[in-house]
Amino acid sequence: MSYLIKPAGYKALLNLAQTEMGIKKIKDFFQQNLSSELRLRRVTAPLFVLKGMGINDDLNGTERAVTFPIKDLNDSKAEIVHSLAKWKRLTLADYQIEEGYGIYTDMNAIRSDEELGNLHSLYVDQWDWERVMNKNERNIEFLKETVRRIYAAMVRTEYLVYEMFPQIKPTLPQYIHFIHSEDLLQKYPTFTAKEREDAIAKEYGAVFIIGIGCRLSDGKKHDGRAPDYDDWSTIAENGQTGLNGDLLVWDDVLNRSMELSSMGIRVNKEALLRQLAINNAEEKKELYFHKRLLNGELPQSIGGGIGQSRLCMFYLRKAHIGEIQASIWPEEMRKEANDAGMYLI
């Protein structure tokens, strides 16, 4: 079901021309800063991959990929990517990227099962990135340091927007707050996961929630995560589970939290086998990606995705992602949004 938030008294701070100018500046500036912070080089990404190789991102395991037959491959099926979580790791190996360096790319995807709304579209655009690491960096502190570097690029970009458009005042705090999903549950034991995200993001302005995909003390996951890219089952030095997480900020326009990035240290052989067993998905061991990982052909890595349209939406103080990108929306939503001052492209 689609759902529209209509902020009372909403009025866009920028017109269409200013919005397009802002999108261009934000995307150019942020990706340059991301590249410098993490030592990433840009590579070209696929829009689709062959079905049945285990390369596409399974997201929560329930979303259906858009598929089509390829005439010159005897009608073998291809899938529009959901994200490039696993493709990037293959690319690190094939390009022989050295330790401490990595890649980023403009990822465009179609997620036909999305529940459409202010933050969710059929069309997904993000910077997908992946960096080679060594086994000694397989810890929470390395994860946090990487998050801090990405967040520093976000803070600098927000200041660029303020210089361009002084009517948009910076709201991001200087530092990002870290909390494990289990600690967040204990802090707000009667809240749903979404309510916990809103509460902690409102309190700190920017937060990274560690441990997405593992079961918490209430028997539930904070959110779903596929078993074959992020490591969410390893016990860290602090005794908590998970070497991944989500980066959220507080959005004053929608009066709610907004997830801008999902990332994590990737599975090694042991974590992959453990998580496939947990998810009853051990048949995936026979797929192309999984075989290469289990055979030791892929480097240890850390990686994630950063939503381009969401980032622009946050910086430009827009109330709907459709004010940033062109997509398809239910006609009723388009009319309601227009009446509420949200002009969908």
Residues forming the active site: 57, 111, 126, 246, 259, 262
Structure token pair of residue 96: 């022989």
Burial code of 222-233, b = ≥16 C-beta within 10 A, e = fewer?
A: bbebbbbbbbbb
Helix (H, G, I), strand (E, B) or coil at 276: helix
In 3D space, the residue among 212, 208, 272, 273 whose CA is nearest the CA of residue 243 turns out to be 212
Tokens of 207: 């937060």
The burial class, CB within 10 Å (0-12 / 13-18 / 19+), for 330 is exposed
Indicate the pairing of strand 256-265 with strand 244-251. antiparallel
Edge-to-edge strand list for the sheet holding 48-50: 48-50, 76-80, 67-70
**Separation between Cα atoms, residue 241 and residue 239, nearest integer Å:** 7
Q: Three-state SS for 36?
A: helix
- Contact in structure between 141 and 78 (CB atoms under 8 Å): no
First to last CA, the chain: 21
